[in-house]
C-alpha cells in the first residue's frame, strides 16, 4: 500500500505532519494516511495520538491566521465574498466556541477555524472543543475500520 511521499517511513512523525497539513487549507487526507499506517500494523492508540495532535495543531494554525492576519487582507487572500463572510460571522456569533467541534469537517472545517480566530472567539474553549471534535473523528474512523484492519 502506497501512502504518498514517505509517510509510513517517517512513522508517527509522518502521520503527525500529514495530519497537520490536512488541517490547513491544503487539500489533503489525514484519514488515508492514518488508515494506511493502521493497515500496515500500526498500534491504534499511538496512531490516534499522532493524528489528533497534528490535526488539532493545524486547526489552531488556521485559528491563528484568522486572529492575527489583517481581516481585509485575509478576505482578499482567501477570496471570501461578503455574503459568505457574513454567514460565517453569524455562525460564530450564534455558536461561539462550540463551532470548533465542527473543525474536523472536510471543506468547511478550515474556514470555521479561521472564522473563530477572525471573530475573536476565546482561544482556550475553541482549542479544547477543536481537540474534542478532531479526536472523536479519529476514534470513530479507527473503530469502524478495525474489523478490516485485522489481518
pLDDT in tens, the chain (151 residues): 444 556 667 889 999 999 999 998 777 889 999 999 999 888 999 999 999 999 999 999 999 999 998 877 877 777 777 677 777 778 888 889 999 999 999 888 988 999 999 999 999 999 999 999 999 999 999 999 998 886 5
Q: ∠ CA(149), CA(130), CA(132), 5° rounding?
A: 55
Q: What is the largest CA-CA distance in the chain?
A: 53
Q: Measured between alpha carbons, how far is 76 from 107 in angstroms, rounded to an integer?
A: 19
Q: Measured between alpha carbons, how far is 151 from 143 in angstroms, rounded to an integer?
A: 15
For residue 143, tell me if it sits in a domain: yes
What cell numbers appear for 55 in the block? 490535526
Sign of CA dihedral 61, 129, 134, 47: positive
For residue 4, tell me if it sits in a domain: no
User: Full-prediction pTM beyond 0.85?
Assistant: yes
Among 22, 25, 24, residue whose Cα is nearest residue 35: 22
For residue 81, the tally of other CB atoms under 10 A from its CB is 9
For residue 42, tell me if it sits in a domain: yes
Total domains, the chain: 1
Residue bearing cell 509510513 = 8
For residue 144, tell me if it sits in a domain: yes
For 124, the domain range is 11-149
For residue 5, tell me if it sits in a domain: no
Q: ∠ CA(120), CA(92), CA(74), 5° rounding?
A: 60
For residue 6, tell me if it sits in a domain: no
For residue 1, tell me if it sits in a domain: no
What cell numbers appear for 12 in the block? 508517527
Amino acid at each position: 500500500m502506497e501512502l504518498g511521499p514517505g509517510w509510513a517511513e517517517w512513522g508517527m512523525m509522518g502521520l503527525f505532519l500529514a495530519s497537520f497539513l490536512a488541517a490547513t487549507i491544503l487539500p489533503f487526507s489525514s484519514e488515508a494516511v492514518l488508515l494506511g499506517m493502521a493497515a500496515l500494523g500500526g498500534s491504534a492508540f499511538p496512531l490516534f495520538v499522532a493524528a489528533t495532535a497534528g490535526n488539532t495543531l493545524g486547526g489552531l494554525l488556521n485559528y491563528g491566521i484568522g486572529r492575527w492576519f489583517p481581516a481585509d487582507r485575509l478576505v482578499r487572500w482567501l477570496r471570501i465574498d461578503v455574503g459568505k463572510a457574513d454567514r460565517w460571522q453569524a455562525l460564530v456569533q450564534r455558536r461561539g466556541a462550540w463551532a470548533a467541534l465542527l473543525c474536523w469537517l472536510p471543506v468547511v472545517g478550515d474556514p470555521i477555524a479561521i472564522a473563530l480566530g477572525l471573530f475573536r472567539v476565546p482561544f482556550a474553549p475553541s482549542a479544547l472543543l477543536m481537540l474534542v471534535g478532531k479526536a472523536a473523528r479519529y476514534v470513530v474512523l479507527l473503530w469502524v475500520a478495525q474489523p478490516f484492519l485485522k489481518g
